[in-house]
Amino acid sequence: MRMPRRLPISCLLLLLSVAGTPVACAAPRTAAHKAPKRATRISVEALEEQWRQAQLAGDATAMDRLLADDYVGITAAGQINTKAMQLERMRNRSALFTQLDITDSKIKIVGQVAIVTSLFQISGSSDGKPLTGMFRSTQVFQHLPSGGWKITSFEATRVPKTLAARRSPSGGESDAVADGAVGR
């Protein structure tokens, strides 16, 4: 009768020893998965800086390399810009930036897509009108079959100066923002 009792204990010990194996194997797999995400994060951060530099320099050629052909940008005023529209605004210098500081960036990587949320401070002009303020943005990068990353989507939202300004009828926005000038 003791034999049946030992058999279940033996089976239990065997299961515990086997159950520990996947845990040990999972640790290297997790570390292996972090390396590509880290490399992607570094690539996306570099592209974000290239985008910033292109905006400050008004460099439509550099921006053309960064934006996907099906790029869609949504300004803080809800205006939609295609890649062609964005490049034209840069070429005709209707949007000029003297300051574009990016902070509080967070990158979420999901497969072949990187979603970047950031806070940025802008100074400059749009269509000849002063443009300044803080904005939250969401920018989507996609890893294309060709091997490169491109910006496929963008959206900006003005950050109110104070809670009182957010509740004011005007929303505390400049004329340039109200006209849909803020965009990438």
Eight-state DSSP code of residue 184: -
Cα–Cα dist 8/73, whole Å: 64
CA distances from 97 to 25, 38, 43 (A): 51, 31, 24
Residue whose C-alpha is closest to residue 184's, from 43, 66, 44? 66
Phi, psi for residue 45 in degrees, rounded to 5: -60, -40
Query: Taking Cα atoms as reference points, which of 40, 95, 89 lies closest to residue 64?
Result: 89
How much is the pLDDT for 7? Answer: 46
| Single-letter amino acid code for the residue at 171 | G
Q: Model confidence over 125-180: pLDDT tens digits? A: 877 888 899 999 999 999 999 889 999 999 999 998 863 244 334 444 443 433 34
Model's pTM, two decimal places?
0.70
Q: Please, are residues 125 and 96 in contact by the beta-carbon 8 Å criterion?
A: yes
Give the model's pLDDT for residue 32. 54
Which of 81, 169, 171 lies closest to 126, judged by CA? 81
Domains detected in the chain: 11-178 (3.10.450.50)
Q: What is the pLDDT of residues 36-89, one digit of tens each?
A: 889 999 999 999 999 999 999 999 999 999 999 999 999 877 889 999 999 999
